[in-house]
Structure 1
Amino acid sequence: MTKPSEEVETMDDATPEEGKPKGIKPAKLTAIIVAVVVVALAGIGGGYAYWTHHESSGYHAAVEQAENADKALMKAIEQATATTYKADQLKEPKLLDKLNEQVKKAESLKGIPDDNPSEWLAWQLASARKANATDADEADAQAKALNAALKAVRDSKLAKELDTAKDQLKQGIDGASQTLRDTDGKVADNATRDSLAKAIDEANDTLSKKGVTDPKTYTDAKAKLDAAVKQVTDSKAAKEQADAEAAAQAQAQAQAAQAQAAAAQSQSSYSQSYNRYGGSYNRGYSSNRGYSAPQQSYTPSSNGGASSGGSSLADLIGAASGSNGGPNTCGSTCGLIER
């Protein structure tokens, strides 16, 4: 017989493997749980690390963008305030108010946020990134608005300068044309008037140009026109001076001739007075204050008339008394002697 113990052992040994209960041993289960936890933690840690890295990169990029935007805005403010504009310099004075308004807005911006987020705190990095991005957008927008306002003011100033220069050229042409008309035949050198006529034509050509954007185009034409006008006026003045000098010289010559004629006439009058009263032709009182009759001769003519000749006073007396005792035939001469 078989022993009971032996019988039991035989039965256990005879039980097939498929009949034994199945399951996981505790040691293996613990290892699996640990492995799952490690994997989970590793996944969470890797995702957080990726998020942190992403936000950190975005934050630093936003800071750089904000810095550049703020620099551009500061430059725009400097340009807008570097030049002092006046309302009367602009074609549209109201644009100056808009520029000043944009300057005030630009100066009121806070600039880059003063924050120092931790590199390991993703949510701080994300918040700081957004703040810097907002600052960059605001600075960019304000810089564009300020530059636009500044450009409008500059364009208005340029338009006013163009209008002013163009009007001055018009006035210059009118004045130059009047000078050309007024100086016909009144200049020392007529070539100056020819140059002025040419300058007027060129100025009119400049005035009719389209799309002029530089006032210098008009001011240069005006300067050239003014120079041509000055040449004509200088030539006119030179002729007037030469004419005045010639007139003065002619007047001086006429006065000299008159003075010479007056001197000659005075000398002639003096000579006549001298010959009459103090010269060799003595009529009147003699040097002995006695009276002497003029020495005249009388010679009877053959026909009984009298003729002047070399008859002496004795002859006249004889003739008056009648040398042959005859009648007195002296006529009027005897009367003169008797008187």
Structure 2
Amino acid sequence: MTKPSEEVETMDDATPEGSKPKGIQRAKLTAVIVAAVVVALAGIGGGYAYWTHHETNAYHEAVAQAENADKALMKAIEQATATEYKADQLKEPKLLDKLDAAISKAKALKGVPNDAPSEWLAWQLASARKANATDADEANAQAKALDAALKAVKGSKLAKELDGAKDQLKRGIDSAGKTLKDTDGKVADNATRDSLKKAIAEANSALSKKGVTDPKTYTGQKAKLDAAVKRVTDSKAAKEKADAEAAAQAQAQAVQAQAAQAAAQPQSSYTQSYNRYGGSGSGYSSNRGYSAPQQSYTAPQQSYTPSNNGGSSAPASDPHYGALGGFGGDGLDCSQAACSILGN
């Protein structure tokens, strides 16, 4: 015998699909559709989530790049404006106008507003990412242009400094050569001239170098050359001073020698005397001064002796007696008259 359960099971399996009730078929179809919708929605949601996540990361990366670019640009502006340049300092003055224009354009960049988009809105994240990337590119470009303009100005300034330093060294060499020539045999220490020759040779060597980028290459040699020239001129001045002192000393010694010679000679004087009756005489005395001739007058000596007879007698040696003829009739004493005449 067949069991009841076996009979039921056999009947269900043997029933064709078409003979099953329709309600059962629709339920299965609905379940399949729901499952498909759920799967579709899950796929869409997952894709959007991935998109927003990707845009979020890209946005933050772009913001960091823009911030770094803006900082670099600000630093470039500070460096470009830290030093004031003038047109007369440059070999090419027009480069200063390009630098000023680059500074103005760099300062005009304002960056990106700090408005963070919603992290659930992928399109806002994408737009903000693009804006920051553009800002970074512009800032980098302006910083690069500013650096190039500043470098050109510095290079032009350096070129003019090099030209000036080189020209000064050339003139220094010419002047030093003239000093060397003019001081031959005129210095106290000839070693100073040897030192100047060496400095001139070194300066010419520096002048002939190629690819010089530092003005100190020329200015350093110019300083050494000037110092060597000064030593020579100082030595020349020392010799001139010593020669002048020696000449003055020699002159002083000559004067002293003459004075000593004059003091050693004997002192003498000329004296002349005149005697009216005794003539004149001259001779040297111990005094060199001149004495005027001395004159002397001696009156004739007379004598009178009266006689007892009232007559007169005169010495035969009296020259006036004969001239007067003795006493006159007026009773005058002839000797007295003679004295009167002689007095006249």
Q: What is the TM-score with the length of structure 1 in the denominator?
A: 0.74
Alignment of 1:1-339 (within 5 A): 17-18=15-16, 20-21=18-19, 25-261=25-261, 268=267, 271-273=268-270, 276=283
Kindly state the Cα deviation for residue 30 of structure 1 after the two structures are TM-superposed: 2.4
Kindly state the Cα deviation for residue 208 of structure 1 after the two structures are TM-superposed: 0.5
Does structure 1 conserve the Cα–Cα contact (< 8 Å) formed by 2:112 and 2:135?
yes
Distance 1:100 1:168 in 2: 31
Distance 1:47 1:160 in 2: 65
In structure 2, relative to structure 1, the CA distance for the partners of 1:259 and 1:117 (3 Å cut) is same
Q: Which runs of 5+ in 1 are unaligned?
A: 1-12, 292-339
Task: Read off the aligned partner of 2:225 and give its amino acid letter.
Answer: L
Distance 2:29 2:18 in 1: 20
Kindly state the Cα deviation for residue 254 of structure 1 after the two structures are TM-superposed: 2.6
Q: Helix, strand or coil: the match of 2:204?
A: helix
Does structure 2 conserve the Cα–Cα contact (< 8 Å) formed by 1:187 and 1:232?
yes
> RMSD of the TM alignment (CA)?
2.6
Fraction of identical pairs, as percent: 75
Task: Read off the aligned partner of 2:58 and give its amino acid letter.
Answer: G
Kindly state the Cα deviation for residue 272 of structure 1 after the two structures are TM-superposed: 2.4
Which structure shows the bigger proportion of residues in strand conformation? Answer: 2
Distance 2:18 2:64 in 1: 71
Task: Read off the aligned partner of 1:149 and give its amino acid letter.
Answer: A
Q: Helix, strand or coil: the match of 2:91?
A: coil
In structure 2, relative to structure 1, the CA distance for the partners of 1:230 and 1:278 (3 Å cut) is closer
Kindly state the Cα deviation for residue 198 of structure 1 after the two structures are TM-superposed: 1.1
Distance 2:248 2:286 in 1: 44
Does structure 1 conserve the Cα–Cα contact (< 8 Å) formed by 2:186 and 2:236?
yes
In structure 2, relative to structure 1, the CA distance for the partners of 1:170 and 1:20 (3 Å cut) is closer
Task: Read off the aligned partner of 1:272 and give its amino acid letter.
Answer: S
Kindly state the Cα deviation for residue 194 of structure 1 after the two structures are TM-superposed: 0.9
Distance 1:101 1:257 in 2: 87
Quote the residue 2:311 is aligned against.
none
Distance 2:86 2:251 in 1: 61
In structure 2, relative to structure 1, the CA distance for the partners of 1:52 and 1:279 (3 Å cut) is closer
Distance 2:229 2:239 in 1: 15
Distance 2:128 2:212 in 1: 51
What whole-Å deviation, never above 9, does each CA across 1:26-49 have from its counterpart, x for those lacking one? 322222222111111111100100
Q: What is the TM-score with the length of structure 2 in the denominator?
A: 0.73
In structure 2, relative to structure 1, the CA distance for the partners of 1:261 and 1:90 (3 Å cut) is same
Kindly state the Cα deviation for residue 262 of structure 1 after the two structures are TM-superposed: 5.2
Distance 1:277 1:217 in 2: 87
Does structure 1 conserve the Cα–Cα contact (< 8 Å) formed by 2:77 and 2:146?
yes
Q: Which runs of 5+ in 2 are unaligned?
A: 1-10, 272-281, 288-292, 299-344
Quote the residue 1:300 is aligned against.
none
Distance 1:146 1:279 in 2: 109
Kindly state the Cα deviation for residue 55 of structure 1 after the two structures are TM-superposed: 0.5
